Amino acid sequence: MMPSRSYVLAFSFLPLLACHSKKLEEAQRAQAGVEVGMLSAAAEISFVTKGTCPASLEQLKADGQLSPASKTTDPWGTPYSLRCDRDVKITSFGPDKTEGTADDVVKTKKDGAKKP
């Protein structure tokens, strides 16, 4: 028995979907890198001018360091993380939405945006 045309047609699109999915993830990672850099710059300016770490990215909006329209969630819908020790650190937890894994996009003052 011959497979129906709908099955043949559906399976012929699988390679295209896989390619599209990979390109989408690459675009999301690039977007996260740009956003992490922008958020980090605003947080660093606040840190230097005020001498303390901003309490949150929302505080940066309230203080005028970020535009009210600035995104504070990554391309996967997770809020960016803001932490300060000696330096400001902005992190996207990446597509797995888990902190400390290989797919995180991180920016600190010392090292710039890092993408594995």
- Residues 11-48: pLDDT tens digits? 555 555 556 688 888 999 999 999 999 999 999 999 98
Burial 64-84 (b: 16+ CB within 10 A, else e): ebbeeeeeeebbbebebbbeb
Among the residue ranges 7-11, 30-34, 54-58, the one predicted with the least confidence is 7-11
Q: Which residue has the tokens 């980090």?
A: 40
**Domain with 57 in it: what CATH number?**
3.30.700
Q: Give how many domains the chain has, as a whole number.
A: 1
pTM: 0.76
Inter-residue contact 59 to 66 (CB < 8 Å): no
Contacts of 65 (CB under 8 A, 6+ apart): 42, 43, 45, 46, 54
Domain of 37 in residue numbering reads as 5-114
